[in-house]
Amino acid sequence: CDGIADEGPDGGDPVAPGDCATGQPGICAIGQRACIDGSVICIPEQSPQEEICDGFDNDCDGSVDEGLVNACGNCESLPEEICNGIDDDCDGVADNGELCVNGACVDGNCRQFCEGNECVEAGTYCDQPTGLCISPCDGVECEFGWICNQNSGICEDPCAGVDCAAGERCWRGACGPDDCVSTGCPGGSIC
């Protein structure tokens, strides 16, 4: 590449083709070796492009998808908040805003406004302090496999008193195949 000879010490090309690191970020980081004006340099295979939301640094400025990622960390349009107990729009608050028609969102469920005892939905009653039709199970978290009694608001084991045949086990009040018997678990684990 000095303008005098086109051969390396072994008779080959002193500027062997191949990938090289350009020292630039993003899609401009990989290049090909070339002999320019007596010097071996690395020419980027791609030049900076307009940034698009694809997980790459398209404009070679060292930042990926800048200005294009939403609050949830992805490239899609921001999800709409719905009443489900989840922060759908990634603003740090679950179920905020006007989500329910003629009511309010309580524990991931739309509850209608009420006066006196005018609740229509079965299993709900008019809670006087809030003015909302609520269920006795609103806000109740039961341990795994248990269910909340809609009349009392108390967690109950639906398998209490249920006898299952050999090779079966009770789950939510019904007997079915005990997958743990056929699957087995490694030592120190439980199914």
The 3-class secondary structure across 11-23, one letter per residue, is CCCCCCCCEEECC
Specify the pLDDT at position 117. 77
Specify the pLDDT at position 135. 87
Residue 179 Rama label (left phi>0; alpha psi -120 to 50; beta)? alpha
- Residue 191: pLDDT band with limits 50, 70, 90: low
Residue pair 172/156 in contact (Cβ under 8 Å)? The answer is no
pTM exceeding 0.75: no
What token pair was written down for 18? 């191949």
- Residue 182: pLDDT band with limits 50, 70, 90: low
Could you give the CA distance from residue 158 to residue 140 in angstroms, rounded to a whole number? Answer: 16
In the block, which residue shows the tokens 């070679």?
A: 60
Specify the pLDDT at position 18. 79
What does the angle CA 48 – CA 70 – CA 84 come to, to the nearest 5 degrees?
160
Averaged pLDDT score across all residues of the chain:
86
Q: Where are the domains of the chain?
A: 1-69, 70-97, 100-143, 157-183
Kindly list the distances between the CA atom of residue 10 and the CA atoms of 13, 14, 17, 160, in Å, as whole numbers in the listed order. 9, 9, 16, 84
Burial 119-132 (b: 16+ CB within 10 A, else e): beeeebebbeeeeb
pLDDT tens figures, 29-74: 999 998 888 888 999 999 999 999 999 999 999 999 998 988 998 8
Specify the pLDDT at position 164. 93
Q: Report whether pLDDT(152) > 90.
A: no
